[in-house]
Chain A
Amino acid sequence: MSTPNLNAGPGSTSQTKPRFAEDALDRRPVRPSKLRYNLGMLAVGIIFIAAVSGAGMDFGALLNLPASIIQYGQLMAAGVFQAPDATVAGYWTQSFDAMFESVAIAWVGTMVGALFSLPLGFLAARNMSPLPVYIVVRFVLSVIRAVPEIIFAIAIMLPLFGFGSGGGGALAGAMALGVSSIGTLSKLISEAIEAVDGGPLESSRASGSNQMQMIRWAVMPQVMPEVIAIWLYRFEVNIRASAILGVLGAGGIGALLSTVFGAREWDRIGIVLVVIIVVTMLVDQISAFIRHRVIHGGDLRSDGGEPQEDDDDAGPSPENDPRVETDPAPQENRAAAGL
């Protein structure tokens, strides 16, 4: 197959025949053991089976599920689509009022959390605060994160502010959400602060500014868009979280939910669910729009410094080797989960 003047590039005379004896590089490598991987999978499987039996589930219940979904689904749909006479219109306004109360609870809760989270975020950022402070603040934050909202509500806020919709209940719910938001908000903000570009920090330190000036002019412009995005995420999470507090007596949509479910009034249940879905999706859309605006520029916060283009260039990390992939889960995503 070799042509007389094979154009095979400089320094390529006899490529087809190996010129050296075979060595280790030419031998196929032994297959690495997959024992650990297989054991891990086996463990997950065993845990799953143990959990299935441990939970004591009754699979017979699943058989009836489709039937009851259809049955009750029809009842709910009938409730949603029935002609809105005075009583039904009353159901709708009652649902919207309750849902808006939930939004208000979530907003106040997020504000309370946000208020504390910014200073605590700075104290919990390794590049901003001394080691002892850092350790103590981090520990306190992780304890706060471990406590579910309902515990704050039951133990402190409900007795402090009272129960019921419209009365003290809503405030109690908001405060419980606020306190439990502090943990995650501060943690996410501290991570954002730790990821700031060190260049502006260095230059402002070099030009003799003190800690406060450095924070104001070198750190805040960089992190503020991300911080606002984190607050908004938490607002979305808090709307959902406020529901469970409502069931406990903290007002909002949760209180209404437990009332209508308690009475098994399926038409009202349908209405409440539709209202929840509509309002939540609307708030999510608005919040996502603002978040996008804040992070990717636009007029909003035009003085907020360069928005971070990409999550990948999150500061100098030891594994900035282009061949090594960093965690592909974008930071924004982790915040989205409202960790």
Chain B
Amino acid sequence: MVTTSTAERRAAPQAATVRPEPPRPSGLVYLGLAGLAVLAFIVFWVIQESGDVLLIPLGFVTLWAPLNPVIGLVVMLVALAVCFKARIGTMAAFGALAFIMMSYWAGATVGFTLLEIPERWSNVEPRLMAFLDPNWSYIWTVRDQWLITISMAVVATLVGCAIGLVLAMYASPVSSPNKGTSQTIKAVNSVIRSIPDVGWALLFVAFIGGTAHGLGPMAGILALLMFNIGIVAKLTSETIDAVNPGPVEAADASGATLTQRNRLAILPQVLPGFVSYGLYVFELNIRASAALGIVGVGGIGSAMMLQLNRFQFENVAAILIALIVVVLLVDMFSMYIRRKLL
């Protein structure tokens, strides 16, 4: 270490003024991480699908290597070197490495490339042109479908919030009767949440029949319901976890039953959060019920799919633009309610 000023030089011999070295991460672990990177390189090589090859002439012999995995390896090693240089902890370096590997894998899996955009742009142009010139007169003809979509969203939101609230009360250890109940409900809820909305829609359409049988809205509502229960129960139970325990204890101390104390001491505390989750879920529902039309649950989505299959892009465009407007309106409405209530 080079000291510059005389004052510092004079102070140097004294042990007390020795400057602390910045903490240095373990080189051995970094070496291990580099080994991991090489391992990942081999795996990438084995699973790679493209045949692009990188030729490395060394004079006496020309090595070849697969192009993309080599790029991946170089990126990983450079990132490790940078992390080491910046004295970043080994855990963070591992995080960075894992991030690069995950990204490489994901990119390779979806075949990430932007090179084809120019030549395929001609496919998009007619659709985009249609979007600039929507068939406005069409919107009025599907008003019934709009009504169904919004009705589905309303019913699913209200029922889903009610059920979600009850589940949340049982899911949070703060408000549930015992630990076993809360663990069970939490597990059930994460199963409910892990099935995507379209999965639920397909299930209920298969169970009770879809648009073809005139049962679309019912299946759609049930699907949205499961979707909403998952979200509302999770968010609300996390809010319950964080309530002020004081009033809860006070209710306990005055001899309230579990239900009474949940109603009197916990519900008022979580109500603002609960209402905003409800409004948020309503917004999601409008969007989702439009999307779910493609699997036959009725509403505006079905109309949109019909027009899409007929290549009537002007009509699709009209629906899409109306959808954007409706979602923006719902967004503004829920912002208004939130400000009014909270």
**Interchain CB contact under 8 A, B295 and A333:** no
**A248 surroundings in chain B (CB, below 8 A):** 294
Which of A142, A299, A301, A334 is packed against the most chain B CB atoms within 10 Å?
A: A299
**B184, CB-defined interface residue at 8 Å:** no
Which of A50, A61, A72 lies in contact with B215, CB distance below 8 A? A61
Interface-side segment among A3-11, A120-128, A154-162, A199-207: A154-162
In A51-70, the 8 Å CB interface with B consists of 51-59, 61-62, 64-65, 68-69
**Interchain CB contact under 8 A, B324 and A146:** yes
* Identity of the chain B residue whose Cβ is nearest the Cβ of A69 in the assembled complex: B207
* Identity of the chain B residue whose Cβ is nearest the Cβ of A266 in the assembled complex: B206
**Interchain CB contact under 8 A, A159 and B154:** no
Distance between Cα atoms of A327 and B239 in the complex (Å): 11
**A108 surroundings in chain B (CB, below 8 A):** 103, 106-107, 110, 112
Given the known inter-chain contacts A57-B217, A58-B215, A108-B106, please indicate yes or no for A148 contacting B287, CB distance below 8 A.
Answer: yes
**Interchain CB contact under 8 A, A155 and B291:** no
**A69 surroundings in chain B (CB, below 8 A):** 207
**B45, CB-defined interface residue at 8 Å:** no
Given the known inter-chain contacts A56-B217, A103-B106, A247-B295, please indicate yes or no for A328 contacting B243, CB distance below 8 A.
Answer: yes
**A227, CB-defined interface residue at 8 Å:** no
* Identity of the chain B residue whose Cβ is nearest the Cβ of A278 in the assembled complex: B194
**A298, CB-defined interface residue at 8 Å:** yes
Q: How far is the CB of B332 from chain A (nearest CB, A)?
A: 9
Which of B124, B194, B215 is packed against the most chain A CB atoms within 10 Å?
A: B194
What size tier do the contact residues of chain B reach?
35 or more
In A306-339, the 8 Å CB interface with B consists of 325, 327-330, 333-334, 336-337, 339
Which of A52, A147, A241, A290 lies in contact with B151, CB distance below 8 A? A52
- Count residues of A near B (Cβ-Cβ below 8 Å): 88
**B239 surroundings in chain A (CB, below 8 A):** 328-330, 333
Interface-side segment among B170-178, B256-264, B269-277: B269-277
Given the known inter-chain contacts A55-B151, A103-B106, please indicate yes or no for A257 contacting B190, CB distance below 8 A.
Answer: no
**A244 surroundings in chain B (CB, below 8 A):** 196-198, 291-292, 294
Distance between Cα atoms of A103 and B107 in the complex (Å): 11
Task: Kindly supply a per-residue 1/0 record for chain B positions 97-125, scoring 1 wherever the CB is within 8 Å of any chain A CB and 0 otherwise.
Answer: 00000110111011111001100110110
Which of A276, A300, A334 is packed against the most chain B CB atoms within 10 Å?
A: A300
**B11, CB-defined interface residue at 8 Å:** no
**Interchain CB contact under 8 A, B88 and A303:** yes
**Interchain CB contact under 8 A, B273 and A328:** yes
**B221, CB-defined interface residue at 8 Å:** yes
**B120 surroundings in chain A (CB, below 8 A):** 159-162
**A111 surroundings in chain B (CB, below 8 A):** 103, 106
In A203-254, the 8 Å CB interface with B consists of 239-241, 243-244, 247-248, 251, 254
**Interchain CB contact under 8 A, B276 and A160:** no
**A240 surroundings in chain B (CB, below 8 A):** 194, 196-197
**B218 surroundings in chain A (CB, below 8 A):** 57-59, 61-62
Distance between Cα atoms of A72 and B206 in the complex (Å): 9
**Interchain CB contact under 8 A, A257 and B198:** yes
**Interchain CB contact under 8 A, A51 and B150:** yes
Which of A50, A156, A159, A254 is packed against the most chain B CB atoms within 10 Å?
A: A159
**A302, CB-defined interface residue at 8 Å:** yes
Which of A100, A258, A276, A298 lies in contact with B195, CB distance below 8 A? A276
In B122-151, the 8 Å CB interface with A consists of 123-124, 127-128, 131, 147-148, 150-151
**B67, CB-defined interface residue at 8 Å:** no
**Interchain CB contact under 8 A, B206 and A276:** no
Q: How far is the CB of A99 from chain B (nearest CB, A)?
A: 11
**B71, CB-defined interface residue at 8 Å:** no
Which of A50, A55, A276, A280 is packed against the most chain B CB atoms within 10 Å?
A: A55
Distance between Cα atoms of A284 and B230 in the complex (Å): 14
**A273, CB-defined interface residue at 8 Å:** yes
Distance between Cα atoms of A64 and B124 in the complex (Å): 45
**Interchain CB contact under 8 A, A52 and B148:** no
**Interchain CB contact under 8 A, A55 and B152:** yes
**Interchain CB contact under 8 A, B331 and A58:** no
Q: How far is the CB of A221 from chain B (nearest CB, A)?
A: 14
**Interchain CB contact under 8 A, B235 and A333:** yes
**A188, CB-defined interface residue at 8 Å:** no
**A194, CB-defined interface residue at 8 Å:** no
Q: How far is the CB of A60 from chain B (nearest CB, A)?
A: 9
**Interchain CB contact under 8 A, B221 and A336:** no
Task: Kindly supply a per-residue 1/0 record for chain B positions 227-255, scoring 1 wherever the CB is within 8 Å of any chain A CB and 0 otherwise.
Answer: 00001001100110011000000000000
Residues of chain B having any CB pair with chain A under 8 Å: 88-92, 95, 102-103, 105-107, 109-113, 116-117, 120-121, 123-124, 127-128, 131, 147-148, 150-152, 154-155, 158, 190-191, 193-199, 202, 205-209, 214-215, 217-219, 221-222, 231, 234-235, 238-239, 242-243, 269-270, 272-273, 276-277, 280, 287-288, 290-292, 294-295, 298, 308, 316-317, 320, 323-325, 327-328, 331, 342
Closest 7 CB pairs of A and B: A329-B273, A299-B91, A104-B109, A54-B151, A280-B194, A55-B151, A51-B154
Can you name 11 A-B residue pairings with CB atoms under 8 Å?
Answer: A51-B158, A56-B151, A69-B207, A143-B328, A146-B328, A149-B291, A159-B120, A168-B111, A174-B110, A244-B292, A300-B91
Residues of chain A having any CB pair with chain B under 8 Å: 44, 47-48, 50-59, 61-62, 64-65, 68-69, 72, 100-101, 103-105, 107-108, 111, 142-143, 145-151, 154-156, 159-162, 166-168, 170-171, 173-174, 239-241, 243-244, 247-248, 251, 254, 257-258, 261, 264, 269, 273, 276-277, 280-281, 284, 290, 298-303, 325, 327-330, 333-334, 336-337, 339
Given known contacts A69-B207, A161-B116, A328-B242, what 15 new A-B pairs fall within 8 Å (CB)? Answer: A47-B154, A53-B151, A56-B217, A61-B218, A101-B110, A111-B106, A147-B327, A148-B323, A154-B308, A155-B124, A261-B205, A276-B199, A277-B194, A337-B231, A339-B280
